[in-house]
Structure 1
Amino acid sequence: MPPWLAALPELLTSGDAELVSVLKVAGSAPREPGATLAVGLTQSADTLGGGHLEWEAIAHARARLLSGLPPPEILRFALGPGLGQCCGGVVWLLFERVASGERAAWGQRAEALRQGATLVRTLGAGMPGSDWLLTTEGESSTVLRGEIEDWHWRQRYRAWRMELTLFGAGHVGQALVRVLAGSDLHIRWIDQREDAFASPLPDNVLAIVSDEPTEEVARAAPGSAYLVMTHRHDLDLELAWHILRRGDVGFFGLIGSMSKRARFEHRLAARGIPSERLAAMACPIGLPDITAKDPASIAIAVAAQLLSWRDSAQAAGSVGWVKAATPAP
């Protein structure tokens, strides 16, 4: 869920707010079309990328809040020396008022997105404000048609519900959960030891104590990411086999060295895992240029790798690197 949308109902308790959205971009810019900032008189939520552009956007939004009920407005910003930025591109920002009396409606919209709905926004030149519609179809998208004087904008907001199933609550698992706290990855954290989990758990983490961790592989959502980092190599091997048998894996990472990978590939191939699935297994895990071996560094490297996969998958609308729906033999 976009942070501005999650925060907007609370922001409206203090009065009207302004939505500031990136309508169009030419050249290099700090945020993409559709990025939105919610602005109140004393607080704001989300970001347009920071810097002087965001400062100017907040100042203009607050001036609008003090000036009655202005219609939607588009301003053009050149990201050059005059704005104190060196991106070199051009950004068109859309400013639109949200009335405090709509707080309940925005609370309902936010909750609907949490439950899997899609929120559709349409706005065009000359319209007094956006039309907002909840539906059950469509992924996040932003489409602008026409010219800047005669335009029509359609956005879809859908909570990105990628799931990470994390096996192992050791030092690296603990560090990784801390790094990913507050991200939009829903983490199913599995271990056989009831006292192994950090407390309190971040809001996006569900701890599962299981004597049969392999059974949790089948309970993961299609397109999920999996990380295996337990305290036993024999369990790692069994988990890897169960994961790689699935035909809808989004990402699979196994902690270990190249020699561990070689041993596991040999044993998994002997058990019928196809070579293309073995090739897609990330082991060692993490970005290769981060070579430190302490838990915090490994966790940061793995988190960056996961977020890179998430962004690529979201952009491609993909659910995994293997399209077949049937398990391996």
Structure 2
Amino acid sequence: MLELAAELLKRIWDRTPFVTATVTRVDGSAPRQPGASLVVDADGAVLGNVSGGCVDSAVYQACQQMLSGDSRPKVLRFGYTDDDAIGVGLTCGGTIELILHHHDPRTEPELGLAFADAAQDKPVAVATIVAGPSAHLGRMIVVRPGRPREGTLGDGALDRAAVIHATGLLNAGQTGTVEIGVADGYCREPMTLLVESNTPAPRMLVFGAIDHAAALARIGSFLGYRVTVCDARATFASRGRFPDADEVVVEWPHRYLRSQRLDGGTVICVLTHDPKFDVPLLTAALRLPVGYVGAMGSRRTHEERLVRLREAGLTDRELSRLHSPIGLDLGACTPQETALSIAAEIVAHRHRGTGVPLRTGVPIHRRGVPSPDAFWPAVHLDQGVGINLLGAEVPYPQALSSSQESR
């Protein structure tokens, strides 16, 4: 639902009722994950999708019925059986569950706050009861860092438990379900919460103002990164050459990197292949707990670079984090193809993909967690202070060394 925040905020402002159909559970192969939503408003407009087309028409009809009839939240389930082959089902073979929720902007002010924060790329989480007693189904609270929770699930103890779980998932930048049992003492019957998280866009730092950087800035922006292009040469690092970057910085790369507070979602792409830039930059980058560090260059350049980095004091463990030569083997020739190669490696690394063709039999929809790099706290080099995904300072005594040892 939060992925549609900007459009839904307009409905809130116009006081236009709408129904959300949100994926709460996925089993087997399915195209969308928990948190994905299809929305139908009172004017008949449709936003988003929950299946990539397989069952969207049936979900749309169910949303229309809720708008014109019974507005109580309800759960839908779609799967694939022999009968589904000529009816409504997921042709990919999995099953999904959804909760349909009728929203009236006049009675849900907390939802407007959530959409406003999400639309501005601020951290916010929405926790909704998606399974449990029918009287509680659909109740939600909104959690925003540093502020009191908005809304209620109907019970103070339950609210406190939901805030704890929602904050945990928000800190990790994850959306998912949480089971709250009777034994926990928070409720008389088991309940399931869907926590939808919105965290600031991850950063992509591209060093080296070359044509490949312009292509990478475009695809990085497309993938949802906030892209910075940095180069010490003012002649090349101009806004006109990098229209798709969020910012273009003229500064020595290692100095700029040291000035930034980065988190585990950050990717660093070094395209300079010039020792006077590469060595101090990579020496700093490979000691940061960012998600990905890659460097462009031939295999000969890579070997010579490794010698210099070892002379600069980097250990074999630190050097093992370097993706160089950068990118996957796609046979890329042009800057655009090379950018695609780099982006493919970044995606594969984050989600532990193999990079091999799907026809070889590898799973299409993975259920694993992202790369362990992805959620490390960040470090500010000058102060030794950790920065989590929400931008909050956290103690950082030995976090990097202990994280590396666990690998």
Q: What residue number does 1:132 align with? A: 141
Q: What residue number does 1:64 align with? A: 66
Q: What residue number does 1:287 align with? A: 328
Q: What residue number does 1:236 align with? A: 278
Using the alignment, how far apart are the partners of 1:103 and 1:306 within structure 2? 39
Q: What residue number does 1:225 align with? A: 267
Deviation track 1:197-229 (CA, whole Å, cap 9, x = no partner) reads 347844x7222222x222111133132221111
CA RMSD of aligned residues (A): 3.2
Contact 2:38 2:46 in 1 (8 A): yes
% identical aligned pairs = 22
Q: What residue number does 1:262 align with? A: 303
- C-alpha deviation, 1:273, in angstroms: 0.5
Using the alignment, how far apart are the partners of 1:242 and 1:31 within structure 2? 38
- C-alpha deviation, 1:160, in angstroms: 5.1
Q: What residue number does 1:4 align with? A: 4
Aligned with 1:83: secondary structure?
coil
Using the alignment, how far apart are the partners of 1:176 and 1:103 within structure 2? 41
Q: What residue number does 1:73 align with? A: 74
Contact 1:214 1:238 in 2 (8 A): yes
Q: What residue number does 1:101 align with? A: 106
Q: What residue number does 1:249 align with? A: 290
For 1:149-188, list aligned pairs within 5 A: 151-159=191-199, 161-188=201-228
Question: What TM-score comes out, normalization by structure 2 length?
Answer: 0.69
User: 1:324 is aligned with what amino acid?
Assistant: S
Structure 1 residues 18 and 178: CA distance shift in structure 2, 3 A = same
- C-alpha deviation, 1:103, in angstroms: 7.9
Using the alignment, how far apart are the partners of 1:73 and 1:84 within structure 2? 18
Using the alignment, how far apart are the partners of 2:241 and 2:109 within structure 1? 33
Using the alignment, how far apart are the partners of 1:70 and 1:116 within structure 2? 30
Instruction: Flag structure 1 segments of 5+ consecutive residues without an equivalent.
Output: none
Structure 1 residues 119 and 84: CA distance shift in structure 2, 3 A = closer
2:53 to 51, 54, 57: 51
Contact 2:76 2:98 in 1 (8 A): yes
For 1:104-119, list aligned pairs within 5 A: 105-113=110-118, 114-119=121-126
Structure 1 residues 301 and 2: CA distance shift in structure 2, 3 A = farther
Q: What residue number does 1:205 align with? A: 246
Aligned with 1:101: secondary structure?
coil
- C-alpha deviation, 1:257, in angstroms: 1.6
- C-alpha deviation, 1:262, in angstroms: 0.6
Deviates more, 1:275-284 or 1:179-188: 179-188
Deviation track 1:222-251 (CA, whole Å, cap 9, x = no partner) reads 32221111374432233222322x242321
Instruction: Flag structure 2 segments of 5+ consecutive residues without an equivalent.
Output: 146-166, 182-188, 353-368, 379-398
Question: What TM-score comes out, normalization by structure 1 length?
Answer: 0.84
Using the alignment, how far apart are the partners of 2:275 and 2:33 within structure 1? 43
Deviation track 1:5-24 (CA, whole Å, cap 9, x = no partner) reads 34311244372111111122
Aligned with 1:181: secondary structure?
helix
1:122 to 129, 134, 140: 129
Q: What residue number does 1:324 align with? A: 401
Total equivalences in the alignment? 320
Contact 1:255 1:284 in 2 (8 A): yes
- C-alpha deviation, 1:129, in angstroms: 3.0
